[in-house]
Structure 1
């Protein structure tokens, strides 16, 4: 099938674009690992060795240090602390911060932390401050980062002195509770089990609730004529249950007493489950809407629309998956900026290379949406007259009266002047009847009465527009014009009514003794002087 072949070509183009993006990402990664000998002579811009250029980098580095129980290294993320000059008091501040966070404090999840060196600009805070969480004290003191300059590095974000002043330093020989017992990835094993059990319980609860709701919905809509609501609910509930479980778990973990390292790690990666749920929801919703639209178009014999729905469905699904993958890679810590840039360049290249295909696709969408013609319509497109046999994704085909097949690209078809003869609600009946000149005025009045009677008595003639008039004195006839509209579903039916009317008019005029005129000429011949015995005139 031509439409299926074109769809497959477009899908192949999308796959090629995805491969181009992957190659761009690979080449970028290779460039980042380039050896010094291969690097250019231009010096690279200075970077902070601790990754504190952004609020996200500062919080991530701080959590990694706390998870390793490297409190001296964690203090390097504090304001007014020199990383090169270790002080036991700074390490004690780091322990106090961890204890406060473990005791009910909270940090923003990984995705909510700004990855912009300038931080968030719409948080109603000064430009050099960023709120990233709250301490576990009774006042829920905000944890603020401040942006300041550091020696030989770009501006960095560090925990503000204002936040540190609210911490209570424990005795030096007292370890935080989260540092005791069996440690797994920087957090106590019981905390991991508690958080993972809560996540699993949330998923199980919503899964059972979804199964029960689907059972009730199927029973309620079993006899329904329209299946759209049922299709939508069946498509939305499973991914919605996963998304609700993620949201519920995120709210539950705010402020609970558990290791901040374990909480942030699970919240970070459970965000991947949230993106999967959103992509799953989008894919199932796209399928449900496309299935409903395709069924409706098939019921109305709009095959060309069904083919377009298939293409749009696959394109939307590819876009949904691509967006979810970008979000997941961003959650995992990959730099997706280069990939997005490559995607934009690849999309531009694809659009330029497939310009005519895109134009025809847009033309197809225009024709289907505007519906100037449908398959089976008799129409005139520009100078071409014929019956529409197919409206495809690339072109529209017409069968002419000479039985030839004309293919018109949709980009040209949509811009042409289209005259659709099949959409007429009535057909014009506008003949002229010529009577001979031996008809006098009284005879013309009688002829008009007879013709009007024929027109008025026919049930398929619209009375409000019908008129019969003596319009002019022609060169060889007295002309009567009929102007009326015929009610007929198709052109052949209108010819049948037209024939019926003309025959009835002829019968009435012949019974009334009237004659139809035809072109005649009267020639007068004059005798030459002296010619005798010749007639003066002759008529031909």
Structure 2
């Protein structure tokens, strides 16, 4: 019976190959302009074709699996019976050492891969292993019912018909004795999962041992850059390398293709997660080392830049991991990413403040009006900058409260940075009592001498000048700079200067004026009444 089926299928293939060139041209045209109508078997791309075939084999639905072979008239009962037998033979050969490309390596484009050495209507999907060696499993691109689909090519069908089924796996999985899960024997699942778990455990133990040896040989491992790097890298790299080992060994095991292909598919997602895990830990390690170095060099603004870059890198890595996991589960993310172009416009319109704050963050970090730790005034807020974040800047006020200012607003305000000044202005106005001109000149000379004699007062033109006849005092204006940058130290020097001036003026009998008022009262003399009966005033003085 099997011999008759093989002869019939061979004849069908020969008839179909007779029109191969014209069909190839049609396939090339169809691959250039793929149709948008949905195929009931999901054969639009090489990836979906292989996934649909594996699903059919897992459910042991060989009639559905027959639709993934490039046969001309699949509505014929004899053709369908022969194609079902081909599907079973394909499964036996794959279970006995044949391979299919992992999910991530299969093209998800309707036109397939165009950068390989195959014709545009052919796609490599795996390899068959028979007595004659390896033979490629090729997919062909043809139009079926006005739909451009990918199916197993005539070349592969001929190899299937010519390759004998190994005796050890002469019966299909559907006839195997024993308990099976998702179309594959339990022992095959256990073998593959055990291989993956064992490789990860062994590599993780080796990584822990290497870290322990390094820790013993380093005096201060927490501040050592090499140790921090390996401490961050080895755990995720253990997972990543174990996935690579699993990829290498899984294809060599003679296990059910359903179990192997399913686990290889999700192993790609695990590898992406391991890579993102490694990069996240690496970003944290590099950022911590950079922040510590910036603190030692007092480059506080650089700390804000490193923090911002760390957060942005983590967000990008998490987005990448989400996309990779969704792609592993077969969710088409390209449509969603394309939709972001349109949705991004709507999002930008609805999140103008958020975008404004992000732009403000870039402006604050690039322009550096303040740094973390600076004492400043922003609008009517006075305090110390504690953090320059992606969205906002936090300032701790003198009342020990935290004021959060969105960076968009922060960058547009007038910012006065007290920490940036190189000296402090000493500009008091000293009022002395009304004295004669000689004493006034002596007072001005004394004040200037105090300024010139102090080593913390700048020699760049300190001066004292008589400036005004005040209501209660003769005003002498002082203009000088105190050459320190610390505010507390400047207040101490200011106090010292004022006390010295006060002492020197007191020594020569010149007092500091205070507000006074003189009133003149004129009593009325008898007999000199005015028109209203009031007497004229006699002047007296009251102070």
Matching of residue 413 in structure 1 with residue 417 in structure 2? no
Match of 2:98 in 1: 105
Matching of residue 82 in structure 1 with residue 73 in structure 2? yes
- Counterpart selection for 1:394 from 386, 392, 395: 392
Matching of residue 195 in structure 1 with residue 184 in structure 2? no
The higher relative CO (CA closer than 8 Å, separation ≥ 6) is in 1
Task: Provide the secondary structure at the position in 2 that maps to 1:53.
Answer: coil
Match of 2:434 in 1: none
Matching of residue 142 in structure 1 with residue 140 in structure 2? no
Q: Distance between the aligned counterparts of 2:63 and 2:376, measured in 1?
A: 83
Match of 2:370 in 1: 373
Aligned residues: 452
Q: Distance between the aligned counterparts of 2:37 and 2:499, measured in 1?
A: 99
Match of 1:51 in 2: 42
Distance of aligned partners of 1:410 and 1:92 in 2 relative to their CA distance in 1, 3 Å threshold: closer
Deviations 1:215-244 (A, max 9, x none): 223333463461665454334322221221
Give the TM-score taking structure 2 as reference length.
0.61
Distance of aligned partners of 1:233 and 1:365 in 2 relative to their CA distance in 1, 3 Å threshold: farther
Matching of residue 116 in structure 1 with residue 109 in structure 2? yes
Match of 1:160 in 2: 153
- For the aligned residues, what is the CA RMSD? 5.9
- Counterpart selection for 1:488 from 480, 484, 488: 484
Task: Provide the secondary structure at the position in 1 that maps to 2:421.
Answer: coil
Task: Provide the secondary structure at the position in 1 that maps to 2:47.
Answer: helix
Matching of residue 363 in structure 1 with residue 357 in structure 2? no
The 8 Å contact of residues 51 and 57 in structure 1, kept in 2 or not, is answered as yes
Distance of aligned partners of 1:387 and 1:333 in 2 relative to their CA distance in 1, 3 Å threshold: closer
The 8 Å contact of residues 96 and 166 in structure 2, kept in 1 or not, is answered as no
- Counterpart selection for 2:251 from 254, 265, 268: 254
Distance of aligned partners of 1:350 and 1:193 in 2 relative to their CA distance in 1, 3 Å threshold: same
What are the ranges of 5 or more consecutive residues in structure 1 without an aligned counterpart?
Answer: 1-43, 431-451, 469-482, 506-540
Matching of residue 265 in structure 1 with residue 262 in structure 2? yes
The 8 Å contact of residues 304 and 372 in structure 2, kept in 1 or not, is answered as no
How far is 1:111 from its partner? 2.4
Task: Provide the secondary structure at the position in 1 that maps to 2:223.
Answer: coil
Task: Provide the secondary structure at the position in 2 that maps to 1:118.
Answer: coil
What are the ranges of 5 or more consecutive residues in structure 2 without an aligned counterpart?
Answer: 1-34, 428-447, 463-478, 502-543
Task: Provide the secondary structure at the position in 1 that maps to 2:148.
Answer: strand
Task: Provide the secondary structure at the position in 1 that maps to 2:215.
Answer: helix
Give the TM-score taking structure 1 as reference length.
0.61
The 8 Å contact of residues 92 and 169 in structure 1, kept in 2 or not, is answered as no
Deviations 1:257-280 (A, max 9, x none): 433233212212333433443454
Deviations 1:283-336 (A, max 9, x none): 5456556766787899979799789959975x8767655543443343233445
How far is 1:196 from its partner? 3.2
